[in-house]
Amino acid sequence: MDFERGFQHLNRQPDSDRSTALQNGHGQANSQNHLDGKFLFLALGALGVVFGDLGTSPLYTIRECFYGKHAIALTSANLLGTLSLIFWSMTMVICIKYVVFILRADNRGEGGIFALLGLIPRSSRKISPRHRSIAILAGIMGAGLLCGEGIITPAISVLSAVEGLEVATQAATPVIVPLTCFILFSLFLVQRRGTADIGKIFGPIMLLWFASISALGISQIIKEPQVLNAVNPLHAFDFFSRNRFHSIVVLGSVVLCITGSEALYADLGHFGRNAIRFSWLAIAYPALLMNYFGQGALLLHHPEMRVNPFYGVVPEPLLYPMVCLATIAAIIASQALISGVFSITQQGVQLGFFPRIRIVHTSSEIMGQIYIPFVNNALMIACIGVVIGFGKSSGLAGAYGLSVTGTMAISSILYFLVLINRQKWPLWKAVPLVSVFLMFDLSFLGANFLKIVDGGWFTLLAALIITIVMTTWRRGREELNRKLQAERLPVELFLEELADDKLPRVPGTAVFMTLSPTGIPPTLLHHVKHNHMLHEKVLLLTIRSVDVPTVPAKERVTVQELGQGFYRIEALNGFMQRPDVPVILKIASVYGLVTDPMTTTFYLGRESLLTTGQAKMRRWRKSLFAFMSRNAGTPAAYFNLPVNRVVELGAQVEL
Which CATH number covers residue 401? 1.20.1740.10
Q: How far apart are CA 503 and CA 4, in angstroms?
A: 39
**Dihedral, CA of residue 460, residue 465, residue 466 and residue 467, to nearest 10:** 80
Question: 192 and 264 in one domain?
Answer: yes
Residue 24 domain flag: no
Answer with the one of 445, 475, 505 that is the final residue of a domain: 475
Question: 102 and 200 in one domain?
Answer: yes
Query: Taking a C-beta distance cutoff of 8 angstroms, is the pair 466, 143 a contact?
Result: yes
Question: 527 and 432 in one domain?
Answer: no
Query: Taking a C-beta distance cutoff of 8 angstroms, is the pair 541, 516 a contact?
Result: no
Question: 556 and 526 in one domain?
Answer: yes
* Average pLDDT score over residue span 336-364: 85
What is the 3-state secondary structure of 208-240? Answer: HHHHHHHHHHHHHHCCCHHHHHHHCCHHHHHHH
Answer with the one of 475, 499, 534 that is the final residue of a domain: 475
Q: Provide the percentage of residues in the chain whose pLDDT is more than 90.
A: 51
- pLDDT score, position 233: 96
Q: Where are the alpha helices (DSSP H) in 302-372?
A: 309-312, 319-350
What is the count of structural domains for the chain? Answer: 2
Residue 442 domain flag: yes
Residue 12 domain flag: no
Residue 351 domain flag: yes
Question: 515 and 457 in one domain?
Answer: no
Residue 175 confidence (pLDDT) above 60 = yes
- pLDDT score, position 404: 87
**Banded model confidence at residue 350, pLDDT cuts 50, 70, 90:** confident
Q: How far apart are CA 584 and CA 557, in angstroms?
A: 7
Measured from the Cβ of residue 654, the count of other Cβ atoms closer than 10 Å reads 12
Query: Taking a C-beta distance cutoff of 8 angstroms, is the pair 509, 537 a contact?
Result: yes
Lowest mean pLDDT of 68-82, 188-202, 245-259, name the range.
Answer: 188-202
If we measure between CA atoms, which residue out of 363, 352, 272 comes closest to residue 575?
352
Q: Print the domain residue range for 645.
A: 491-654
pLDDT, tens digit (0-9, with 9 covering 90-100), for 415-464: 999 999 888 899 999 999 999 999 999 999 999 888 888 888 888 899 99
Question: 471 and 501 in one domain?
Answer: no
Label the pairing between strands 557-563 and 566-573.
Answer: antiparallel
Q: Can you spell out the DSSP letters for 158-224?
A: HHHHHTHHHHH-GGGGGGHHHHHHHHHHHHHHGGGG-STTGGGGHHHHHHHHHHHHHHHHHHHHTT-
Question: 386 and 322 in one domain?
Answer: yes
DSSP 643: G
Residue 15 domain flag: no
Between 216 and 351, residue with greater pLDDT: 216
Between 278 and 20, residue with greater pLDDT: 278
Residue 570 confidence (pLDDT) above 90 = yes
Question: 624 and 498 in one domain?
Answer: yes
Residue 482 domain flag: no
**Banded model confidence at residue 2, pLDDT cuts 50, 70, 90:** very low
- pLDDT score, position 123: 62
* Average pLDDT score over residue span 141-169: 89
- pLDDT score, position 185: 95
Q: How far apart are CA 647 and CA 601, in angstroms?
A: 7
Q: Provide the percentage of residues in the chain whose pLDDT is more than 70.
A: 92
